[in-house]
């Protein structure tokens, strides 16, 4: 089955491609070339953020790609220093301008503000306004744990469509994942390869060999089988392609359980409860 046929329905009834392309730390002219290459390879779901400082370059790459806008799914995020109702609206308009788009497919709160319920809610109200105006087709959050989500759900008129969190073998955040599934919030995985650290794990390497796949492909397929959208990043064209080639094999139940039960062994150390 072709990659473009793999899409997931959001609570808005819109569809999101089941694999995205991450762009953190990809900047400047290199970013333009990487995004152009990713689109050529087949990615239609591009994830960025104001904090990544690459929206302008991504906008240029999109414009030169000659792909119909409707085929692309573009995500951006409001950074923590721009939270609040008016500041979020300004941040969104800046992202829209930088990306040279008439609308953004998904706009997220990048991080929750711990111990400031009002700021989180005011920021969400701004996202609701953006959504109602059709400037963002879907709205959601990033790095929100269960208790952060409950604050939004208690106050929202429009619920989040997506929660993007760090997710990879050894870091599942089961309570948050289960809560999102219960509330029909689609989960996305940033750093699904643990910034490359997953690839050095012997257990994962051995399981991948059974399927004649790379360790990266195993980790990304594991995300998909856990109903989580992976957002891998690579500047290498061959690896870009490999990261899309996930639909010709299934990880069996025993191997899924083995990976699901792995202890934490690597990660970003960016904890939503303390990162502000």
Q: Which residues are catalytic?
A: 52
Please state, in angstroms and as integers, the Cα–Cα distance from residue 199 to each residue in 168, 204, 216, 229, 244, following that order.
Answer: 11, 7, 6, 19, 17
Tokens of 275: 């990162």
């Amino acid at each position: 089955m072709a990659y473009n046929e793999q899409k997931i329905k959001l609570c808005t009834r819109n569809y999101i491609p089941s694999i995205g392309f991450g762009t953190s730390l990809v900047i400047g002219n290199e970013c333009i070339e990487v995004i152009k290459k990713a689109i050529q390879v087949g990615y239609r779901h591009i994830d960025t953020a104001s904090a990544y400082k690459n929206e302008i370059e991504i906008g240029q790459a999109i414009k030169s790609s000659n792909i119909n806008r409707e085929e692309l799914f573009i995500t951006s995020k409001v950074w923590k220093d721009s939270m609040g109702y008016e500041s979020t609206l300004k941040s969104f308009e800046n992202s829209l301008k930088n990306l040279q788009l008439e609308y953004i497919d998904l706009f997220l709160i990048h991080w929750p503000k711990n111990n400031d319920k009002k700021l989180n809610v005011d920021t969400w109200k701004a996202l609701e306004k953006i959504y109602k105006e059709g400037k963002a087709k879907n709205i959601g959050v990033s790095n929100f744990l269960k208790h952060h989500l409950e604050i939004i759900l208690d106050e929202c008129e429009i619920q989040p469509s997506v929660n993007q969190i760090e997710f990879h073998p050894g870091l599942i955040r089961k309570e948050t994942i289960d809560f999102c599934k219960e509330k029909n919030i689609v989960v996305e995985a940033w750093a699904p390869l643990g910034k490359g650290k997953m690839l050095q794990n012997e257990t994962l390497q051995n399981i991948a060999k059974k399927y004649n796949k790379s360790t990266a492909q195993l980790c990304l397929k594991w995300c998909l089988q856990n109903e989580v959208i992976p957002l891998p990043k690579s500047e290498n064209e061959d690896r870009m392609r490999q990261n899309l080639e996930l639909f010709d094999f299934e990880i069996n139940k025993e191997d899924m359980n083995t990976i699901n039960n792995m202890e934490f062994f690597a990660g970003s150390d960016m904890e939503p409860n303390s990162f502000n």
